[in-house]
Amino acid sequence: MKVDLSQDFKNKYRNLMGKRAEKLFEAIQDDSQEAFRLNPLKSNFKNVSYSLNKPIEYSNIGYFGEINGNSIDHLSGYVYSQEPSAMYVTEILEPQTNDKILDLCAAPGSKTTYIASKMASQGLLVSNEINTKRAKVLSSNIERMGITNTVVTNNSPKDFEKKFDQFFDKVLVDAPCSGEGMFRKDPESVKYWSLDYVEQCANRQRHILDSTYKLLKEGGTLVYSTCTFSPEENEQNIDWFLKKYPDMHLVPVKKYSGMEDAKPEWGNDNPELSKALRMFPDQFNGEGHFMCKMIKDGTLTEPKERKINNGLKKDDLQYVQKFAKTNLNSLTENNWLRISDFLYQAASLDHRFKGLHILRNGLKLGEFKKNRFEPDIAWILALKPDVLKTIFELTDEQFEKYLHGESIILSKRPEFNNKWIGLSYQGKLFSWGRYSNQQIKNVYPKGLRR
C-alpha cells in the first residue's frame, strides 16, 4: 500500500536532512519488517513452530519473521509479535529482578511484556495506560503471556504523582507521539499528521516527562522513546527536560549496525544529545525510533511499604485448598488478595495503589462461587506443567473443536478422575478443562473462541 506523504512532511525533512530525505521517503514506501519475541517465562520456551534462524542482534529472545495470531504458540503466550526497532527499548532499560519499574504509557503491551520476561516473575512492574479501551488490551496481553508480577492501571500520570513520589527504580516513557516512524506499518496514521499535531504531541510529552521526574527515585533510570522522526518530540524535548532538571543526565546508549547518534543540531546544539540514538528505516532494518537513557543524581533508597488488608473471607482459604488438593501437586500461598469474588496472587499489596483504577493486580487465580472455587484461564497460562495433576493433550481435531467452544467427548473412561485438568496442544498449556462423565466440558473464555 502506497504511503501518501503530505507536502508539509516532505518539506520539513528536506530542510532537515537535505538529499538524504529522498532515501527516507523511499524507505517509507517499502514493506515494514516483521519480528517476534519468545517468552522465557514459559517452560521449554524455544519449542515453537517458527524459525529461529534469523535472530535479532541486540535481543537474545528476538527474531525476524511473521507469526500467526491463531497459532498455539501465540494463544499460549510462547510468542509475541513486536516490531524489531521497538525491542531495543527494553534492552536499554535493563530490567533487573528486584526492580520497581513503571511503564507509564504501556498499551498495547509489547514493551511491558518484554520487561516482565526479563524480571522472571520477581520485583514489581506497574503498567499504566490512560486510554480505557487500550488498557484492556494491555491487560489481556499480560494475561496471555503468563505474567504474575504486574499491576495494570488505567490512570493519568498526574494520578501517580500524588501517590508514588520518588518510588520507582526505573521508568519507561514510550511516549504517545505523531507516529512518523510507523507510517509504512500503519499508512492510515498519515491522515492524522500535521505540523500542528506534532506540536500538540511535543507539548503533551513534556507534561508526561514532568510527572515522570517526580516518580523516579534518586539514582533511578528513565528511558524515553518515541516512534517518530520529529525533532520537536525528541531532541528538543530532551534538551528542554535536561535544562529544567539539572540533576538528570543522559548516559550513552550502545548503537548497533544501522543505529545512529541523535542529532544535537536538532536540539539547540546540545552535544549531550549524541548519547541518544535514532533509527531511520533507510539505514536500519526496522521502523523509525528515537531512544535515550537518563539517570537521576543520588542514591537509590527503598520506599517504606504499608500493606493493605487482603480481603480474604473466613472460608476462602478452605475452598482454594480443596481445589488444589484435588487438581494440583502444589499450591503457593503468596500475597493473596480478594477483590469482589475474585482471588489474585497480588503483585503488590502496597497501600499506594488504593484509589487508583486497577484492571489487574498480579495473577488472577480464579473466582469464588457458592461453596467452591473455580480457576481462571490466567492461572493456567502462568502455571508450570509439573504443578498440575493432570494434563490432557488434544489432537488437531479436538483443539479446533475446543477453540470453537465445543466440549470433548472421550471414547473411554480416562485414567484421571479429578475435575479440573490442564489442556495442552503441541505440548503447550492454553486452557483449563472441566472433566465429568467421559466429557471435557468447555470453559475456554468466549472472548477468545473463534
Cα–Cα dist 99/223, whole Å: 14
Question: Is residue 262's pLDDT more than 90?
Answer: yes
Catalytic-labelled residue, pool 177, 201, 227, 292 = 227
Q: Give the model's pLDDT for residue 363.
A: 98
Domain presence at residue 441: yes
Provide the domain count of the chain: 1
347 is in an annotated binding site: no
Cα–Cα dist 227/183, whole Å: 10
Beta strands in 10-141 (DSSP E): 35-38, 62-64, 79-81, 100-103, 124-128
Domain presence at residue 423: yes
292 is in an annotated binding site: no
Average pLDDT, the chain: 96
Burial class (CB in 10 A: 0-12, 13-18, 19+), 197: middle
* CA terminus-to-terminus distance, the chain: 28
Grid coordinates representing 177 are: 507521539
Q: Give the model's pLDDT for residue 427.
A: 96
User: Residue 404: which domain range?
Assistant: 390-450
Cα–Cα dist 248/75, whole Å: 41
Q: What secondary structure does DSSP assign to 402-419, as a single string?
A: HHTT--EE-SS--S---S
Angle, helices 20-28/7-17, rounded to nearest 10 degrees: 140
How do residues 56-111 score in pLDDT, each as one tens digit? 999 999 999 999 999 999 999 999 999 999 999 999 999 999 999 999 999 999 99
107 is in an annotated binding site: yes
How do residues 341-396 score in pLDDT, each as one tens digit? 999 999 999 999 999 999 999 999 999 999 999 999 999 999 999 999 999 999 99
227 is annotated as an active-site residue: yes
Cα–Cα dist 60/449, whole Å: 32
Domain presence at residue 279: no
Q: Give the model's pLDDT for residue 96.
A: 97
Whether the bond between 231 and the residue before it is cis, its omega within 30 degrees of 0, is no
Nearest to 243 by CA among 291, 203, 209, 196: 209
Domain presence at residue 109: no
Q: In sequence order, what are the beta bridge partners of 94?
A: none
**DSSP tag of 182:** G
418: domain CATH number is 3.10.450.720
Grid coordinates representing 227 are: 516512534
Q: Give the model's pLDDT for residue 162.
A: 86
Q: Give the model's pLDDT for residue 302.
A: 87
Cα–Cα dist 341/346, whole Å: 15
Question: Is residue 2's pLDDT more than 90?
Answer: no
Grid coordinates representing 117 are: 520476561
Domain presence at residue 438: yes
174 is in an annotated binding site: yes
Burial class (CB in 10 A: 0-12, 13-18, 19+), 156: middle
Domain presence at residue 80: no
Instruction: Supply φ then ψ for residue 254, to 5 degrees.
Output: -65, 135
Contact call for residues 244 and 295 (beta carbons, < 8 A): no
Domain presence at residue 446: yes
Instruction: Supply φ then ψ for residue 228, to 5 degrees.
Output: -135, 155
Q: In sequence order, what are the beta bridge partners of 350?
A: 307
Q: Give the model's pLDDT for residue 417.
A: 87
Domain presence at residue 447: yes
156 is in an annotated binding site: no
Mean local confidence (pLDDT), 282-286: 96
**Is this structure's pTM higher than 0.85?**
yes
Question: Is residue 208's pLDDT more than 80?
Answer: yes
